[in-house]
Amino acid sequence: MTPHEQISSEILRLQEMLLAQNPAMPTLLRTIHKELQANPDVVTLLAEEEIASIISGLEKFTKTELVVATKKVSTKSIRSMSTLDL
């Protein structure tokens, strides 16, 4: 089994554990982390769904929510802007 297939298999197990609220989820997250560290090229092969499963597992385990930062948009007109507004 290739490293990518092994990690994909573990991510699938993680998805199942997330649905079942399995207490072994932290151990599986640790295993996935170690394997991705050992094989960083596999990260680029992961599907969006696999990455989303890892993030969901981390959010549930750490009881946090990861958010995307947004850029504040200026509402001033271009004519009234100075170099300080840039």
Say how far apart CA 27 and CA 24 lie, in whole Å.
5
Contact present, 33 and 55 (Cβ < 8 Å): no
Give the pLDDT confidence of 13-48 residue by residue, as tens digits. 888 888 777 788 888 899 999 999 999 999 889 999
Q: Tell me what pLDDT residue 85 has.
A: 65
Say how far apart CA 69 and CA 54 lie, in whole Å.
20
> At 13, which helix (H) or strand (E)?
helix 3-20
What's the mean pLDDT when you consider all of the chain?
Answer: 82
Q: Tell me what pLDDT residue 15 has.
A: 85
